[in-house]
Structure 1
Amino acid sequence: MLPKGKILTAVGTLLAAFAIGYAMQGGAVAARIDPADENLGQTPSLASGVPLPPAALVVEAPALIKESPLLRVAALEQNHLSPAAISDALQASDDSMCPVSLKAVSMADAMVGLTIAAPCAADQTVTFTHAGLQFSALLDASGDLFLAVPALEKSARFEATLASGAQVETSLDVFTIDTYSRVVLQWIGEAHLQLHAFENGAEFGTVGHIWSEAPSEPTRARASHSGYMIELGSEIAPQAAHSQIYSFPVDWAKTETHVALVVEAEVTQATCGRQIGGKIFEIAPFAPTKGQSFFVDMPDCHAIGDFIQLKNIIPELKIASN
């Protein structure tokens, strides 16, 4: 946190503004029985040499064998299809047995409720993307998960990617998006970045200092005409994606509000002596998205416990009164 340890000035490499990308997704087989048999051309007879009556020549037609993934693959092999085609056939069978669904519902405060169900992916990692936002999460023992996510665009599209590579997506309209200014900080792995918002000159730990350990929440923020912080992502894998989103509802401000934004990085055993990086961008009503990628050379490991501050990495927010 900001007051602990020695505060260092970051001499990082700030990259040019980046464009926010948008990530992002046989018929039944009959058993073929070869009619060519060397005995079919001979007339059957009894042991006494007397030919069988015509009625005895009736042969029952073979029944179709119930379709299965194995038969489908066998048929593909007989037709000399590529291994990729065979893999696709097996995947189609797997998809029908292990469906994955992603549903989205509109919530208050320009939030979206996401529900993913993947019964064959219990306790596995899932990564979500939305309008440049990226974060990882862990499915529960049933393969289910619900999350409330701040929307970053009016026509909002969300995509979920499982550890297996399976992808699902969903979309909906968020009509209240233009009532919010939002700032997103995100990173991959062990950088452990922190976004701090200081509203109207607030000091560390005082009213108006919003961060992950004092995040506020939409209802309280609405009553106090201030912002709130939401953190997405968890320590579930070395390359897990993390995001922190600061939101300020522009239609709540009774007076002009100024918000200074600071990014902080702690020097840890995992980050000392190496370069870390992240992205930060702002979503404002009726304005283009703006932001940048950044990289910071962390001090050597003798500085473990100290903090790097990146000030002015994104311009101060100025929110007019309503």
Structure 2
Amino acid sequence: MSRTKEILTVAGTLGCALSIGFIMQNSDAAAKRYGAASEAVARERHLQSLDAETSILEVQDIELTSAAFTFEPGEIYSASPTPDSNVTLAATSEGESSALEPTPQPPLDSCEITAEARPMAVAMVNLTLKATCLPNERVNIHHKGMIFTQTTSATGDLNVTVPALSETAVFVLAFGNGEGAVAQTEVEDLVDFDRVVLQWKDVSGFQMHAFEFGASYDDAGHIWSGNPRDTASAITGEGGFVTLNGDTGAASPMMAEVYTFPVAHGRGNGSVALSVEAEVTTANCGQEIEAQTLELMPDDGIRTRDLTLAVPDCDAVGSFLVLNNLFEDLKLASN
């Protein structure tokens, strides 16, 4: 990606959200943006009962190419969800019984919704869903504060691979009609990886960039959506990788970009610098855009921050807003 394009100076508001879970939908405004909470979402909220506390830091006239944002120490949520078995939620509609037939009739429609989670290499989880009565339907997946949108197949199935954010990984799959399912698995190798998340809604233009061991733009160690690598890079010791979670074809989808790096890197000591960028596009120019960052902490907790940016007018299309120091640099050491 060429960096000759103009970098802009903007004013923004950065909020430090000092808890995890469903902070993005725990207010009336959030409910309007992300939809009403379903019963399945309420179940995960119960599993991860939180005390939400938010601190807002006003930032104005910041040169975002080199700004060192200062945060007050963030409180880290570290509670683990209560172990739970796979849960099946069913939705039925009763058929009308004939006045001449006293025997109850079976439902005209019956739908069993099931979900299963299975651990995979590199602290990833294979998540499957079966909902035959809900083909081609939008479903939001919730996990430890991460939220992204997927769409079921023509047969009501879904099969995705998701980065785990907790050793006891609970996933809530919620449809817009309030139906859904819960799946859980144990991810024992999560301790071997650092993981950070950038999530947003719709076409906001956000990107996460990782610069491994002093890499610059377009170097091999510059990892982003344009150079994501794959899980094999973390296994072989080459470095980290980026995954994009969510269906870009869905209407106003929630998206989550996740960067993963092995804690014990096999090629020497050093650090990984992380930054967030937002491209000014015709879809977001002149608007306020929002994102959220989640950082996996050593105690299995999550540090969460909310971000709001005022995007310049449309004559700045093609420029980038660059925000440094939103994440702590990852410190890596060889075995």
- With normalisation by structure 1, the TM-score equals 0.76
TM superposition outliers: structure 1 runs of 4+ over 6 Å: none
The AA in structure 2 aligned to 1:65 is P
Structure 2 partner of 1:176? 189
Larger radius of gyration: 1
Shift in Å, 1:301: 0.9
- SS of 1:97's partner is strand
Aligned residues: 266
Pairing 1:89-238 to 2, within 5 Å after superposition:
93=107, 97-238=110-251
Shift in Å, 1:268: 1.2
Shift in Å, 1:32: 11
- SS of 2:191's partner is helix
Matched, 1:67 2:104: yes
- SS of 1:222's partner is helix
Structure whose residues are more often strand by fraction: 2
Shift in Å, 1:234: 2.1
Distance 2:148 2:302 in 1: 19
The 10-residue stretch of structure 1 (218-227 or 97-106) with the greater mean CA deviation from structure 2: 218-227
- SS of 1:100's partner is strand
Distance 1:102 1:165 in 2: 15
The AA in structure 2 aligned to 1:68 is Q
Matched, 1:272 2:309: no
Shift in Å, 1:221: 3.2
The AA in structure 2 aligned to 1:18 is L
Segments of 5+ residues of structure 2 without an aligned counterpart are 23-40, 44-96
1:275-307 Cα offsets, whole Å, 9 max, x none, are 101001210333642231011110011111111
Distance 1:98 1:286 in 2: 40
Shift in Å, 1:241: 0.5
Distance 2:20 2:150 in 1: 22
Instruction: State the identity as a percent.
Output: 35
- When residues 11 and 2 of structure 1 are mapped into structure 2, their CA distance, relative to the original with a 3 A threshold, is farther
- SS of 2:226's partner is coil
Distance 2:2 2:329 in 1: 18
Shift in Å, 1:202: 0.5
Shift in Å, 1:102: 0.7
The AA in structure 1 aligned to 2:125 is V
Please give the root-mean-square deviation of Cα atoms over the aligned residues, in Å. Answer: 2.4
- With normalisation by structure 2, the TM-score equals 0.73
The 10-residue stretch of structure 1 (252-261 or 124-133) with the greater mean CA deviation from structure 2: 252-261
Contact 2:12 2:308 in 1 (8 A): yes
